[in-house]
Homo-oligomer: A and B are copies of this chain.
Amino acid sequence: MSENSVKSSCRIAVDAMGGDFAPDNAVMGAVVAQQGDSAIEIYLLGIKEKILEVLKKNSASFPVDRIIDCPQVIEMEDIPTVALKAKPESSIVIGAKMVKNGKADAFVSAGNTGAMMAASTLLIGRINGVGRPTIGAPMPSEKGFTLLLDVGASVDSKPQHLLEYAILGTIYAKEIYGISNPSIGILSVGSEDVKGNEMSLAAFKLLKDSGLNFYGNVEGKDILKGTVNIVICDGFVGNILLKFAEGVLSLLKYKLKNYAEKSIIRKLKLLMFKSSLKGALSDMDAESHGGVPLLGVNGISIIGHGSSSVLAIKNMILRAKEMHHKEILRKFEESLERYGRK
């Protein structure tokens, strides 16, 4: 229904200095996205000289007037809150400010996650009715994927924060994934209503009375089964789970390599099978989803994995555009009001 009110253009600020392969992947991701979609107006934020170098090296073109020189760089190992103050001329601070000041509709970065969260929360600010912003990550499941949130925006969440995650997640799953009435589960140690810790049990009560499509408690395995569309939890649990899941494919590769090394026949068999395995597990790769959105801040902010590829950066930009065109912020606000959070 909102498709009629689509805005004609979308200005997206991209952190050229963010990620383990910056500025290369970030710059080229922006170039590819820009070439593929002229309705996006991309701004590249970073050390201008370095950005131009990457463009030259790749014989790529990008409008020079949309390269915003940011002489400071927040490194991956910088302490977020310290870095924000010490490096006001960094791409992360300037990108967040562009969104705050209405000069960009979205900001995308594969840089320091903590700094990106802090800049988004502190500089852009929260949506009215949101106590704590949250990061939602798609986890692979038998039915495609399960949206897990929070995966690390905050720890020691209170029950009302879980309710907020559920509201924000519902809108996100509806608008971005096209799930008409997404079901929500609370991550717990058993599926029975009485299972949980103090916080999850209190959140259970809030969710039960919320009017949202609440399924009840779910267990760790339900994320992978796809029992519900959305699983909510405290960021401490979600982050540990996300990083564990990221390690699973690495362990699998390690085990297969180790097994193959014991004989030539094994090695040949594995070589033959490699492409099948890759094909079968392709959608378990986080890269294909691009980054994860920080939901609840008063602007569009997408955080990418440090190892983001060119494709991942491009996908993050396209996701930002989609969120903007679907007016997701307005829908968050409306939904928070509907469910009594403001």
Interface class of chain A by DSSP:
helix
Chain B, residue nearest A198 (CB): B156
Confirm or deny: A225 has a beta carbon within 8 angstroms of a beta carbon on chain B: yes
Cβ contact of A245, chosen from B200, B235, B244, B280, cutoff 8 A: B244
Given contacts A189-B235, A244-B245, list 16 more A-B pairs with CB under 8 A: A140-B251, A141-B251, A142-B254, A197-B236, A200-B236, A219-B240, A220-B239, A220-B241, A221-B243, A221-B247, A224-B250, A225-B250, A252-B252, A255-B281, A270-B276, A273-B276
With A140-B251, A197-B155, A251-B141 as known contacts, state yes or no: A240 contacts B259, CB within 8 Å: no
Assembly CA distance A155 to B189 (angstroms)? 9
Q: How many copies does the complex hold?
A: 2
Confirm or deny: A284 has a beta carbon within 8 angstroms of a beta carbon on chain B: yes
State whether A220 touches B197 (Cβ < 8 A). no
With A197-B156, A281-B255 as known contacts, state yes or no: A187 contacts B219, CB within 8 Å: no
Q: How many residues on A have C-beta within 8 angstroms of the other chain's C-beta atoms?
A: 55
State whether B244 touches A224 (Cβ < 8 A). yes
Assembly CA distance A250 to B140 (angstroms)? 12
